[in-house]
Structure 1
Amino acid sequence: MIDAIDFIPPENIFLIDPNKRKNIPYFDIAVSAGFANPADNYIRERLNLQDLCVQHPDCTYFVKATGESMLGDYIFPGSILVVDSTRPVETGMVIVIWVNEGWCVKRYIDKSPMIMLESSNAHYAPIYLHPDRDKVSVLGEVIYIVSKPPRYGRPR
């Protein structure tokens, strides 16, 4: 078992800038795994990913993930996490949290009076924290994950 934390460097955390929005085409079609129908290729409107993923622009961050401890939640090295800092933390949430030495992404489990941070990769042991003794600060809940799809035959 790996018991190290995949720390996220501070330079990988960005506050949302609502002034830097760019709309991209949104195709109003169902995507099938079969052959595409050329008649379906029309743009319904232009869509901005911030409009889709960001509910609270002043309290939302983009965080670039590192490490492989959250592969079971489809968080790969290089995934962009959309983190909302307005929501109260509850058991079961995937959060970005400061733990003693740095930022990481884990699943939060309330084990009062302790906190358990759980990875979704079986190679990583859970982390138990004492809020009175450990330096802990929650950035927020991961509400969306933007990733490249894994490639066949390549490790994630």
Structure 2
Amino acid sequence: MSESNLGGKRAGAGRKPNYNEATKVVRIPESRVIEIKDYLKTPKKGNEIDDIRQFNPVTKLEIPMVIERVQAGFPSPAQDYIDKKLDLNEFLIHNENATFIVRANSLSMLNAGIDINDALVVDRSLEAQHRDIVIACIDNEFTVKRLIVDVKGCWLKAENEGYDDIHPVDGQDFEIWGVVTNVIKKFR
């Protein structure tokens, strides 16, 4: 038998480490592979969206919900009556497979109540409609804006006078990535 040069370890062969740490296998839908690879390759440079994570409601936490509503004006007598328990997963998430949490990274939507570091709950399964707050991808950069649909087409409105609206032009990559359904804001 002749000796083969095939097989075995070869210098420079195999996958090259991109990071100096252990890696982890992640299962994603086949239809999303290219999109996710493109996102991972996109250089991060002060985009308005920071830290996109898929929502994974693995725990169930029920929080007591008081039956009485709180007055924003003149206070009313308090009632110590708990109506039921509220699960935040059920309250915030309608389609867990298409829901992501995204952190805002600018003040362009300040007048809509979205501040820097607010967590935006984004549902990709919803079809965006006029006046929805959406996550859009424009030339491979994410932004959060209000979708305006008019006779000329659709454009993105900033909810802060210090920021420009975005009117996509021909040849520009423009995609509505998802609809913002909730904002999670910390006060303390």
- Give TM class, smaller chain: 0.7 to 0.9
Percent identity, aligned pairs only, is 25
In the alignment, is residue 7 of structure 1 matched against residue 45 of structure 2? no
Where does residue 146 of structure 1 map in the other structure?
Answer: 184
Confirm or deny: 8 A CA contact 1:6 1:68 kept in the other structure. Answer: no
Where does residue 30 of structure 1 map in the other structure?
Answer: 69
Pick 1 or 2: higher relative contact order, CA cutoff 8 A, min separation 6. 1
Structure 1 CA distance for aligned equivalents of residues 163 and 111 of structure 2: 11
For the structure 1 residues 30 and 108, does the alpha-carbon distance in structure 2 shift closer, same or farther, using more than 3 Å as the test?
A: closer
Which amino acid counterpart does residue 89 of structure 2 have in structure 1?
Q
Deviations 1:79-112 (A, max 9, x none): 1211111122222211011121421100112357
* TM-score, structure 1 as length reference: 0.77
CA RMSD in angstroms, aligned pairs only = 2.4
For the structure 1 residues 102 and 21, does the alpha-carbon distance in structure 2 shift closer, same or farther, using more than 3 Å as the test?
A: farther
SS in structure 2 opposite 1:127?
Answer: coil
Greater Cα radius of gyration, structure 1 or 2: 2
Confirm or deny: 8 A CA contact 1:114 1:129 kept in the other structure. Answer: no
SS in structure 2 opposite 1:51?
Answer: helix
Confirm or deny: 8 A CA contact 2:64 2:84 kept in the other structure. Answer: yes
> Matched residue pairs, number?
141
Confirm or deny: 8 A CA contact 1:71 1:120 kept in the other structure. Answer: yes
Return 5+ residue gaps in structure 1 as ranges.
Answer: 152-156
Moved more, 28-37 or 138-147: 28-37
Match of 1:70 among 102, 106, 109: 109
Return 5+ residue gaps in structure 2 as ranges.
Answer: 1-45
Where does residue 85 of structure 1 map in the other structure?
Answer: 124
Where does residue 141 of structure 2 map in the other structure?
Answer: 102
Confirm or deny: 8 A CA contact 1:24 1:46 kept in the other structure. Answer: yes
Shift of 1:36: 5.2
SS in structure 2 opposite 1:19?
Answer: coil
SS in structure 2 opposite 1:129?
Answer: coil
Deviations 1:53-103 (A, max 9, x none): 211111111111121100111111121211111122222211011121421
Structure 2 CA distance for aligned equivalents of residues 93 and 137 of structure 1: 14
Confirm or deny: 8 A CA contact 1:6 1:69 kept in the other structure. Answer: no
